[in-house]
Amino acid sequence: MEAFGEGLADTTLKTLQTHLSSFNAWLSNSARGAWDRVRLDDVRAYLQEISESRSFATLRLRHWALRRLYRWASEQDIANVRIDAVLLPARAPARSPPRVPSVQQMERILAMPDTGTPAGLRDRAVLELLYATGLRADELLRLRIDQVAGALCMRVMGKGAKERLVVYGEHAANWIAQYKSVRHALLSAGGHCTTSTARLFVSDGRYPDYRYSQLRRMVSRYAAAEGLQLTPHSLRHAFATHLYQGRAPLTTIQMLLGHEHLETTTRYVSRQFEDDHALLETHHPRGGQYRRLMRDAGAVQSNERHRLWAVHTQPKSSLCEPSRASRRVSASDLR
């Protein structure tokens, strides 16, 4: 698995293992032989069975897992099965964009954890950091305690083993500092010693590391109290959408999210709170607010481009020096 799973996030690697295990079990149950001796017709039969019993999203994931497996097997001269010759059925209807909480809803969710307890402080720190940075769940769970040692930025290893700079404000840093003071209490409650893990976020359960299942349940619980259905990834969408609503450039949001392509970033931006009439009034030459905006926007945009260019061209050793930022990273910080 390690040979052809290189560069994948832990959660993605587990997904790959799950789908390949299902394929191997199907081969065994149908007496079709070992995976390295299958014929293309066997693969077609498997994917056809999946298409009849599972969702289109699952079918795509199974197809992706098999493509990755047999591409690697071909490179290693183990098997030669042309998975790309197996065409998937017509694409399923596009799903509606994910529901993104409003700024006011996010503020209420952030205030829900009981910060009088170690677990509540951890929840608050996790929620604040997810919303302030747009981190992926796997990136957050893999953070080491030495990565947040006081500076208001950190380097994370993202999807595809790509490193990027993540910045956040003192609001999130304050809750992280409070959580770090009780981190040992959570570990002790679970019977773990302080040095049992180097990860920043820990659990008082069987395992010392805070796990995705725990993170997902926590986010879902607080969101349900607000009448919403959210996942940790929903907060990444909220981060991008609220920056966009604050008129942050899409290219800036792309850089902060760590996307290679701008098209990917546009999928994270929701317009559900946009007022189209106000947008035209502000940005169209015939709008009543257009001239005032043109007078004020030039200098602001120029300063912002210069600041972002300076941050991302500094030597690596100086990138995480303490900043004078005083708020959670939001749209107003990027104006």
Q: How far apart are CA 326 and CA 321, in angstroms?
A: 15
Q: Which amino acid is at 137?
A: A
Catalytic-labelled residue, pool 32, 67, 159, 283? 159
Relative orientation angle of helices 118-133 and 212-225, to the nearest 10 degrees:
90
**Catalytic entry in 62, 199, 259, 328:** 259
Does 14 qualify as catalytic in the annotation? no
Name the token pair of 191.
Answer: 């019977």
67, 211, 233, 247: which is the annotated catalytic residue? 233
DSSP letter assigned to residue 98: P
Instruction: Residue 51: name the closest of 40, 59, 61 by CA.
Output: 59
Among candidate residues 236, 237, 242, 328, the one labeled active-site is 236
Q: Is 183 a catalytic residue?
A: no
- What's the burial of 71, exposed, middle or buried (CB within 10 Å: 0-12/13-18/19+)? middle
CA distances from 34 to 23, 31, 42, 165 (A): 10, 9, 11, 44
Which is catalytic among the residues 124, 136, 199, 237? 136
Residue keyed to tokens 């560069």: 7
Question: Is 236 one of the catalytic residues?
Answer: yes
CA distances (Å), origin 270, targets 96, 137, 196, 238:
11, 20, 41, 8
The yes-or-no answer on residue 206 being catalytic is: no
**Helix axis angle, 232-245 relative to 103-110, nearest 10°?**
140
Residues paired with 202 in a beta bridge: 209
**171 is a catalytic site residue:** no
Reply yes or no on whether 46 is catalytic.
no
Catalytic residues: 136, 159, 233, 236, 259, 268
